[in-house]
Amino acid sequence: MLERTQISALALTALLSAPIALAQDASDPFAEIPNESPSATSPAKPPTPPASGADEVDPFGDGGEGTGDSANDSGATSGTTGDTGDDFGSELEDEYGFDPAGEFASAEEPEDRDPWEGFNRAMFRFNDTADRWFLKPVAISYRQVTPIFVQSGVTNFFSNLHEVNNVLNDVLQWKWGQAGNDTGRFLINSTIGIAGLFDVAQHMGLEPSDGEDFGQTLAVWGVPSGPYLVIPMMGPSTVRDVPGEVVEWYTNPLTYVDENSVEYTLKMVDVIQTRASLLQAEALVQQGDRYVLMRDAYLQRREFLINDGEQEDDFGGDLDEYDF
pLDDT per residue as tens digits for the range 257-296 = 988 889 999 999 999 999 998 888 777 777 778 999 999 9
Asked if residue 213 belongs to a domain, the reply is yes
The predicted structure's pLDDT at residue 11:
46
Cα 119 → chain centroid: 25
Which DSSP category does 227 fall into?
Answer: S
Closest to 199 in 3D by CA, of 146, 170, 248, 163? 163
The predicted structure's pLDDT at residue 308:
83
Asked if residue 101 belongs to a domain, the reply is no
The predicted structure's pLDDT at residue 111:
67
- The rounded distance, in Å, linking the Cα atoms of 80 and 87 is 10
The predicted structure's pLDDT at residue 279:
86
Q: Which residues of the chain have pLDDT under 70?
A: 1-111, 311-324
Q: 127 and 235 in contact (C-beta within 8 Å)?
A: yes
Asked if residue 237 belongs to a domain, the reply is yes
Q: Is 10 exposed, middle or buried (0-12, 13-18, 19+ CB in 10 A)?
A: exposed
The predicted structure's pLDDT at residue 91:
53
> Considering the entire predicted model, what is its pTM?
0.62
For the chain, the domain total comes to: 1
Asked if residue 99 belongs to a domain, the reply is no
In total, the chain counts a number of residues equal to 324
Asked if residue 7 belongs to a domain, the reply is no
- The rounded distance, in Å, linking the Cα atoms of 91 and 9 is 48
The predicted structure's pLDDT at residue 301:
92
Expressed as residue numbers, the domain containing 262 is 111-306
The predicted structure's pLDDT at residue 216:
95
Amino acid letter, 145? V
The predicted structure's pLDDT at residue 106:
47
- The rounded distance, in Å, linking the Cα atoms of 6 and 52 is 53
Q: Is 216 exposed, middle or buried (0-12, 13-18, 19+ CB in 10 A)?
A: buried
Asked if residue 294 belongs to a domain, the reply is yes
- The rounded distance, in Å, linking the Cα atoms of 247 and 310 is 26
- The rounded distance, in Å, linking the Cα atoms of 276 and 142 is 7
The predicted structure's pLDDT at residue 50:
47
Element (H, E) at 125: helix 117-130
Amino acid letter, 11? A
